């Protein structure tokens, strides 16, 4: 039999067994000096090697039925498309205890992880008060009708403005699938979005006397919880699986519908190991299983929009907000000639004051955590720099009570380096060290000074590090215990705040001139999304964006809530210069102690690819190897090589020939490399 193992080597490994073992079965096999769990993927009649030279399987794991053929097919596709060894795709996709030898052998393994998990008494699902369902409006009803009428596979792009009630469409589209006994996979970009949705799904799906069984999967779960959710899905006990990107690799025997909420969100792309896009795999899976896939967003990715425009996807539109409220009024405040107070324009301060008086909530959005992005010396110009990275260290206020005298530290956001704030400038000795610029912590502090009576909360990666703290903070906001919320992109998406009237955006310009060609798309989506949090239930929602460049196309489109215009303009631009979705890309990144080594490797890899592409007649554009923008992280220098083609099969064929030859290019060089197909950031 041929077994896939989680080792960075291409190909499968041969083993023998006395009794027949089905494809999809997990086995424990010896590998070098270790033992490993692998998945049987082929059982050829004639072994590739002489029987005698093949080692025997040590244990056949039969606590679960073999992984089903469609699961193996998905893993196979992902391995081939993203150019990873099959074992490095399959095994990491399983809950950890199903792929650990120690979970099966050794003193504490008892009957194995599945038996141990089944012995635990299942927690009784807490009863949830049924939410009254709003009646669908005409556009929602039309969308639901179109989705439920689909026979077989079709990908739907549900383009609904913020607050248009896409969730309601998902729920109604899911109901007939559940009633037929099917399963629904519901993907969301972030863990933070699961509690609110879980509540809606539990209270609304299924039957009045028997709510649909729901399983939730995300990376924040403890191993045991994750295994239980996975088992429930795999056994068909869970009718709905709600989860983040990793859920795409869960076996779902009766899958009938896939929903991808906020499909444009970058969180669907895994950023290490197998760099897959769960959104793209969802579309593949839907096609493979012959079922509908619904991609929903107020700001679809340009890729999805392009497919919808060409008729590859069915486009459904919700152009109005679901409740009797208008989209918020958007104001651009030109900050070039304004005297700002601590970064706030008089307009924004006045608007904040007015909302406070009306008892409404406000949200200040700023995509920069910490106290200040850098600490600097007022007399010599020294700035705080990470000793291990080519990046500044960010000034952070240590956790604890606010007020005078709190401790501050310098943090590197790239490598995690931390240091105390120096008492004096390390270069000139001057003691006048000052924070430059503003992060969320400092904005929170300023707001407390401007509005001492207001209850202020901050939601960012720092304030939510503790497990459950994000859910707690969001619950406070929903319960009306917060007047002003300060946050990063964590607060910008998906949430349905009922009493939020005003959104203020600080420092959006920072993203305007980023070098990545997707930066304007990302900025526009982020602004539309955060603006969409305003006035969802209350009338008179308002958004104030402070900018030095109000005339920029992104801001002008935002003023008009004009996603379509922005998408048209951006796609025309992408087409004229041949960028995705009009071309397909792959990015080879190299890491080495010295930049020259990384560049040397990429140079060789480039030459090699040129030859291979010529051999197979593939038309590729190869860029020059270049250092990454933040070139050094944790004392490792990084460079990249971008490969592009207008023809996806050409790119795929070339990559498939190239990957096995890259060890040659690395010969004699101390370098590590990884390939990313369809990179989101370059
Ligand atoms: N037909 C309806 N009548 C009244 N209210 C509705 C209707 N449909 C949905 N709603 C309500 O409208 C609000 C916004 O809906 P929802 O959160 O689903 O918007 P969304 O389209 O997902 O927006 P976003 O893209 O901003 O997340 C919710 O409070 C929801 O309960
Ligand atoms: Zn660093």
pLDDT tens-digit map of 315-338: 999 999 998 888 999 999 999 989
* Nearest-angstrom CA–CA distance, 675 and 641: 10
pLDDT band (50, 70, 90) for residue 204: confident
User: Does residue 467 have a pLDDT over 90?
Assistant: no
Concatenate the DSSP letters of all residues of 50-93 into one string. Answer: -GGGSPBPSEEE-SSPPPPHHHHHHHHHHHHHTT--HHHHHTTT
Question: Are 362 and 375 in the same domain?
Answer: no
Last residue in a domain, options 298, 318, 338:
318
Nearest CA to ligand 1 atom 30: 165
How many structural domains compose the chain?
Answer: 5
Q: Provide the token pair at 26.
A: 């997990």
Question: Are 564 and 487 in the same domain?
Answer: yes
Q: Is 569 exposed, middle or buried (0-12, 13-18, 19+ CB in 10 A)?
A: middle
User: Does residue 666 have a pLDDT over 70?
Assistant: yes
Q: For the chain, how many residues are written?
A: 682
296 touches ligand 1 (CB under 6 Å):
no
Task: List pLDDT tens digits, range 120-170.
Answer: 766 855 555 666 778 899 999 999 999 999 999 999 999 999 999 999 999
CA torsion angle for 144, 150, 155, 161 (degrees, to 10)? -10
Question: Are 195 and 280 in the same domain?
Answer: yes
Q: Report helix angle 138-148 to 166-179, nearest 10.
A: 40
Best probe residue, ligand 1, of 165, 295, 491 (max atoms within 8 Å of C-beta): 165
Which atom of ligand 1 is the closest one to the Cα of 495?
27
Name, in order, each residue with C-beta under 8 angstroms of 242's C-beta and a sequence gap of 6 or more.
186, 188, 194, 197, 198, 201, 214, 215, 216, 217
Q: What number is the average pLDDT over the span 259-276?
A: 95
User: Does residue 408 have a pLDDT over 60?
Assistant: yes
Residue 507 within any structural domain of the chain: yes
Question: Are 71 and 147 in the same domain?
Answer: no
Question: Are 394 and 459 in the same domain?
Answer: no
User: Does residue 9 have a pLDDT over 80?
Assistant: yes
Nearest ligand, CA of residue 387? 2
Which atom of ligand 1 is the closest one to the Cα of 167?
18
User: Does residue 83 have a pLDDT over 80?
Assistant: yes
DSSP label at 418?
Answer: E
112 touches ligand 1 (CB under 6 Å):
no
State the ipTM, two decimals.
Answer: 0.97
Nearest CA to ligand 1 atom 4: 323
Q: How far is the CA of 418 from the centre of ligand 2 (A)?
A: 8
Percent with pLDDT over 90 in the chain: 82
Residues annotated within the binding site for Zn(2+) are: 377, 380, 386, 389, 412, 415, 425, 428
320 touches ligand 1 (CB under 6 Å):
no
pLDDT of residue 519: 93
pLDDT of residue 191: 81
164 touches ligand 1 (CB under 6 Å):
yes
Q: How far is the CA of 164 from the centre of ligand 1 (A)?
A: 5
Q: What number is the average pLDDT over the span 3-20?
A: 92
pLDDT band (50, 70, 90) for residue 53: confident
Nearest CA to ligand 1 atom 23: 163
Last residue in a domain, options 573, 597, 612:
573
Q: What is the largest CA-CA distance in the chain?
A: 83
Reported for 338-345, long-range contacts at CB under 8 A and 24+ positions apart, including other chains, are 340/546, 341/450, 342/438, 342/446, 342/449, 342/450, 343/438, 343/443, 343/446, 343/506, 343/507, 344/446, 344/450, 344/506, 345/544, 345/546
Q: What number is the average pLDDT over the span 503-517?
A: 90
pLDDT band (50, 70, 90) for residue 27: very high
Question: Are 186 and 313 in the same domain?
Answer: yes
Residue 126 within any structural domain of the chain: no
Q: How far is the CA of 422 from the centre of ligand 2 (A)?
A: 17
* Nearest-angstrom CA–CA distance, 559 and 334: 13
Q: What number is the average pLDDT over the span 242-247?
A: 96
Residue 120 within any structural domain of the chain: no
Q: What number is the average pLDDT over the span 416-426?
A: 95
Tell me if 660 sits within 8 A of 262, measured CB to CB: no
- Angle CA(653)–CA(657)–CA(661) in degrees, nearest 5? 160
pLDDT of residue 375: 96
CATH number at residue 227: 3.40.50.300
| Phi, psi values for residue 657, rounded to 5° | -80, -30
Low-confidence winner among 117-121, 363-367, 561-565 (lowest mean pLDDT) = 117-121
The model carries a pTM of 0.94
Residue 345 CB neighbours (<10 A): 19
Residue 121 within any structural domain of the chain: no
pLDDT of residue 206: 75
Question: Are 517 and 603 in the same domain?
Answer: no
* Nearest-angstrom CA–CA distance, 644 and 585: 4
Q: Provide the token pair at 580.
A: 């995705």
Task: List pLDDT tens digits, range 289-309.
Answer: 999 999 999 999 999 999 999
Tell me if 440 sits within 8 A of 363, measured CB to CB: no
Question: Are 172 and 300 in the same domain?
Answer: yes
167 touches ligand 1 (CB under 6 Å):
yes
Q: What number is the average pLDDT over the span 255-259?
A: 98
Which atom of ligand 1 is the closest one to the Cα of 298?
25
Which atom of ligand 1 is the closest one to the Cα of 136?
1
Tell me if 425 sits within 8 A of 433, measured CB to CB: yes
Residues annotated within the binding site are: 377, 380, 386, 389, 412, 415, 425, 428
Q: How far is the CA of 493 from the centre of ligand 1 (A)?
A: 13
pLDDT of residue 405: 53
Nearest CA to ligand 1 atom 26: 162
Question: Are 257 and 354 in the same domain?
Answer: no
Residue 133 within any structural domain of the chain: no
Task: List pLDDT tens digits, range 362-403.
Answer: 999 999 999 999 999 999 999 999 999 999 999 999 765 554
pLDDT of residue 207: 73
Nearest CA to ligand 1 atom 31: 165
Domain that holds residue 51: 2-115
Best probe residue, ligand 1, of 195, 323, 541 (max atoms within 8 Å of C-beta): 323
pLDDT band (50, 70, 90) for residue 209: confident
Which atom of ligand 1 is the closest one to the Cα of 496?
17
Which atom of ligand 1 is the closest one to the Cα of 494?
27
Residue 127 within any structural domain of the chain: no
160 touches ligand 1 (CB under 6 Å):
yes
Question: Are 12 and 94 in the same domain?
Answer: yes
Question: Are 187 and 202 in the same domain?
Answer: yes
For the chain, the average pLDDT equals: 93
User: Does residue 3 have a pLDDT over 70?
Assistant: yes
Task: List pLDDT tens digits, range 58-80.
Answer: 999 999 999 999 999 999 999 99
345 touches ligand 1 (CB under 6 Å):
no
Best probe residue, ligand 1, of 140, 161, 168 (max atoms within 8 Å of C-beta): 168
User: Does residue 210 have a pLDDT over 80?
Assistant: no
Last residue in a domain, options 573, 601, 616:
573
User: Does residue 508 have a pLDDT over 70?
Assistant: yes
251 touches ligand 1 (CB under 6 Å):
no
298 touches ligand 1 (CB under 6 Å):
yes
Nearest ligand, CA of residue 299? 1
* Nearest-angstrom CA–CA distance, 545 and 308: 30
Residue 323 within any structural domain of the chain: no
pLDDT band (50, 70, 90) for residue 404: very low
Reported for 98-104, long-range contacts at CB under 8 A and 24+ positions apart, including other chains, are 98/26, 98/37, 98/64, 98/227, 98/230, 99/6, 99/26, 99/37, 100/37, 101/28, 101/35, 101/36, 101/37, 104/28, 104/37, 104/59, 104/61
CATH number at residue 64: 3.40.1440.60
137 touches ligand 1 (CB under 6 Å):
yes
Residue written as token pair 């839907």? 286
140 touches ligand 1 (CB under 6 Å):
yes
Q: How far is the CA of 166 from the centre of ligand 1 (A)?
A: 6
Question: Are 73 and 181 in the same domain?
Answer: no
Residue 682 within any structural domain of the chain: no
């Amino acid at each position: 039999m041929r077994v896939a193992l989680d080792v960075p080597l291409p190909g499968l490994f041969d083993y023998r067994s006395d009794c027949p073992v089905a494809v999809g079965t997990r086995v424990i096999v010896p590998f070098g000096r270790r033992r490993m769990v692998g998945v049987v993927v082929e059982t050829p009649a004639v072994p590739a090697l002489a029987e005698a030279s093949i080692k025997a399987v040590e244990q056949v794991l039969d606590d679960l039925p073999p992984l089903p053929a469609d699961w193996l097919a998905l893993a196979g596709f992902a391995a081939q498309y993203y150019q990873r060894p099959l074992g490095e795709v399959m095994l990491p996709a399983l809950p950890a205890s199903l792929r650990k030898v120690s979970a099966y052998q050794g003193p504490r393994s008892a009957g194995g992880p599945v038996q141990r998990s089944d012995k635990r008494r299942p927690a009784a699902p807490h009863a949830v008060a049924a939410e009254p369902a709003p009646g669908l409006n005409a556009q929602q009803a039309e969308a639901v009708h179109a989705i439920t009428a689909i026979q077989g596979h079709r990908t739907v792009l549900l383009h609904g403005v913020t607050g248009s009630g896409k969730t309601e469409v998902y729920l109604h589209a899911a109901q007939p699938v559940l009633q037929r006994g099917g399963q629904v996979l519901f993907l969301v970009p972030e863990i933070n979005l699961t509690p609110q949705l879980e509540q809606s799904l539990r209270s609304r799906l299924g039957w009045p006397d028997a709510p649909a069984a729901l399983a939730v999967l995300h990376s924040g779960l403890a191993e045991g919880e994750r295994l239980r959710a996975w088992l429930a899905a795999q056994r068909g006990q869970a009718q709905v699986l709600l989860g983040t990107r990793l859920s795409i690799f869960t076996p779902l025997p009766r899958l009938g519908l896939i929903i991808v909420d906020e499909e444009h969100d970058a969180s669907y792309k895994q950023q290490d190991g197998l760099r897959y896009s769960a959104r793209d795999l969802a579309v593949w899976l839907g096609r493979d299983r012959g079922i509908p896939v619904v991609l929903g967003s107020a700001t679809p990715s340009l890729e999805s929009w392009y497919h919808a425009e060409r008729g590859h996807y069915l486009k459904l539109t919700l152009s109005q907000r679901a409740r009797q409220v208008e989209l918020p009024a958007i104001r651009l405040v030109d900050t070039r000639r304004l005297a700002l107070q601590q970064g706030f324009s008089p307009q924004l301060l006045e608007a904040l004051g007015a909302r406070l008086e009306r008892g409404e909530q406000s949200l200040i959005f700023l995509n920069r955590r910490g106290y200040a992005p850098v600490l600097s010396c007022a007399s010599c110009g020294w700035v705080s720099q990470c000793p291990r990275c080519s990046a500044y260290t960010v000034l952070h206020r240590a956790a604890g009570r606010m007020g005078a005298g709190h401790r501050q530290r310098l943090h590197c956001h790239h490598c995690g380096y931390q240091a105390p704030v120096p008492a004096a400038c390390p270069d000139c000795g001057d003691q006048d060290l000052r924070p430059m610029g503003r992060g969320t912590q400092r904005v929170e502090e300023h707001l407390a000074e401007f509005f001492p009576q207001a209850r202020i909360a901050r939601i960012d990666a720092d304030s939510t590090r503790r497990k459950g703290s994000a859910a707690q903070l969001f619950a406070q906001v929903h319960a009306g215990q917060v007047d002003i919320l300060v946050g990063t992109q964590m607060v910008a998406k998906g949430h349905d705040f009922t009493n939020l009237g005003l959104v203020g955006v600080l420092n959006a310009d920072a993203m305007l001139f980023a070098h990545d060609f997707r930066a304007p798309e990302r900025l526009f989506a982020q602004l539309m999304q955060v603006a969409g949090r305003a006035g969802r239930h209350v009338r008179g929602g308002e958004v104030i964006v402070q900018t030095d460049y109000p005339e920029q196309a992104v801001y002008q489109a935002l003023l008009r809530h004009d996603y379509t215009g922005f998408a048209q303009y951006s796609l025309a631009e992408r087409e004229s210069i041949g960028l995705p979705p009009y071309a397909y890309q792959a990015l080879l990144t190299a890491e080495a102690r010295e930049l020259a080594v990384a560049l040397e490797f990429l140079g060789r890899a480039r030459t090699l690819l040129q030859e291979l592409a010529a051999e197979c007649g593939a038309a590729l554009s190869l860029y020059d190897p270049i250092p990454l923008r933040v070139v050094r992280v944790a004392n490792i220098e990084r460079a990249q090589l971008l490969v592009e083609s207008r023809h996806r099969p050409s790119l795929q064929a070339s990559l498939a020939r190239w990957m096995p030859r890259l060890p040659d290019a690395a010969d004699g060089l101390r370098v590590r490399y990884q390939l990313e197909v369809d990179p989101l950031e370059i």
